[in-house]
């Protein structure tokens, strides 16, 4: 879907909502203004499509959930990952919400990595969404800091080889944490375990060993491919926090 199609779509209407929602253009333009000096390359996803047929205007489309992700120029690419800054909102939930995040997308599999909770900002529409636009501005001016943080985390995870029973130990820890963490849930961890055990998978364990990064990537692959657009960045951040906790304990 093209960005202009979303910008030209109608305001989403929700019955009995305390908020009279504005058009997507009004919600997205402040974000675009924060990043358009860096890039004009945007990826768009939508969900919750509503189409009303107007005799005079034709089909009028609206979307309850919209994600726009800005891909930054090649100079901000690192370790086969592109830098991205994204905005996503959902208007069809009990408390309509907007999120802005900064992360890296892998070239080969488009997995999103968000290293650090400070690179995810969440706002409720009823309380005001100005902080999300401010976060976008901040993310657009701290890219070098983000890249240094990413390089450090990536380097540690890719060099941390996990063998034999230690693989089961890590997966067991991840599963236990995901059971008690409602935000993360167990699906990504279970999917990762299956891919690690599947010889046909690109994440398959070879010679009874793998890396922490490969285990992490197997889990983020599920998040990237299967999770609702509102929750992708959030679950990715929580997953990274669980890995950090495991690293600290071991």
57 secondary structure, DSSP code:
T
What gap in Å lies between CA 83 and CA 228, rounded to an integer?
21
The confidence score (pLDDT) of residue 1 equals 83
Whether 77 shows a pLDDT value over 70: the answer reads yes
Whether 55 shows a pLDDT value over 60: the answer reads no
Burial class of residue 80 (count of CB atoms within 10 Å of its CB; 0-12, 13-18, 19+) = exposed
Judge contact between 50 and 14, C-beta under 8 A.
no
Kindly state the average pLDDT of the residues 73-93: 96
> What are the tokens at 131?
């902080």
The confidence score (pLDDT) of residue 52 equals 63
Judge contact between 214 and 170, C-beta under 8 A.
no
Kindly state the average pLDDT of the residues 26-35: 97
pLDDT digits (tens, 9 = 90+) for 204-213: 999 999 999 9
Helix (H) and strand (E) counts in the chain: 8, 8
The confidence score (pLDDT) of residue 7 equals 96
pLDDT digits (tens, 9 = 90+) for 123-151: 999 999 999 999 999 999 999 999 999 99
- Break the chain down into helix, strand, coil percent, rounded to 5: 45, 25, 30
pTM over 0.85: yes
């Amino acid at each position: 879907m093209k960005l202009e199609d979303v910008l030209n779509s109608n305001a989403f209407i929700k019955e009995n909502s305390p908020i009279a929602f504005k058009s997507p253009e009004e919600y997205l333009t402040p974000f675009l203004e924060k990043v358009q000096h860096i890039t004009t390359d945007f990826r768009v996803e939508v969900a919750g499509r509503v189409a009303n047929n107007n005799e005079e205007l034709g089909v009028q489309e609206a979307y309850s959930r919209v994600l726009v992700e800005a891909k930054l120029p090649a100079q901000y690419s690192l370790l086969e990952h592109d830098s991205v800054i994204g905005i996503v909102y959902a208007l069809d939930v009990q408390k309509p919400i907007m999120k802005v995040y900064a992360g890296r997308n892998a070239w080969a599999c488009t997995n999103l990595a968000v290293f650090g909770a400070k690179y995810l900002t969440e706002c409720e529409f009823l309380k005001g969404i100005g902080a999300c636009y401010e976060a976008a501005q901040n993310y657009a001016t701290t890219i070098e800091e983000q890249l240094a943080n990413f390089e450090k985390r990536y380097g540690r995870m890719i060099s941390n080889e996990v063998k034999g029973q230690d693989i089961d130990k890590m997966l067991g820890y991840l599963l236990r944490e995901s059971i008690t963490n409602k935000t993360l849930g167990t699906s990504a961890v279970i999917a990762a375990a299956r891919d690690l055990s599947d010889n046909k998978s690109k994440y398959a364990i070879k010679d009874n060993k793998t890396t922490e990064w490969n285990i992490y990537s197997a889990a983020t692959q599920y998040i990237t491919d299967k999770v609702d657009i509102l929750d992708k960045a959030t679950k990715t951040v929580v997953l990274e926090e669980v890995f950090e906790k495991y690293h600290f304990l071991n």
